């Protein structure tokens, strides 16, 4: 996809340096992928916090099951 965006030169340069990207396109791809993965992890974490996992077996019950 071709995009035109107005982004400060300093920000682009900093992202390129931090990411080790060779050009603007690579820097933007790295930054967007990083944002996406962080957002997905945050959403998953919030979902788990809202509805914590419940275990039906205790440690002793699991040991007994594993020994059978």
Nearest CA to 25 out of 34, 37, 15, 35 is that of 15
Comparing CA positions, the residue from 50, 23, 18, 10 lying closest to residue 34 is: 18
- Round to the nearest angstrom and report the end-to-end CA distance of the chain: 57
What is the pLDDT, as a whole number, of residue 39?
98
Compute CA distances 54 → 26, 48, 57, 65, whole Å. Answer: 42, 11, 9, 18
For residue range 9-62, what is the model confidence (pLDDT) as tens digits? 999 999 999 999 999 999 999 999 999 999 999 999 999 889 888 888 888 888
**pTM beyond 0.75:** no
pLDDT at 29: 96
Which of 1-5, 13-17, 40-44, 63-67 shows the lowest mean pLDDT across its residues? 63-67
């Amino acid at each position: 996809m071709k995009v035109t965006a107005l982004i400060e030169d300093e920000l682009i340069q900093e992202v390129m340096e931090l990411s080790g990207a060779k050009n603007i396109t690579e820097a933007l791809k790295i930054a967007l992928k990083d944002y996406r993965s962080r957002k997905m992890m945050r959403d998953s974490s919030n979902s788990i916090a809202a509805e914590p996992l419940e275990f039906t077996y205790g440690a002793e019950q699991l040991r007994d099951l594993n020994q059978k």
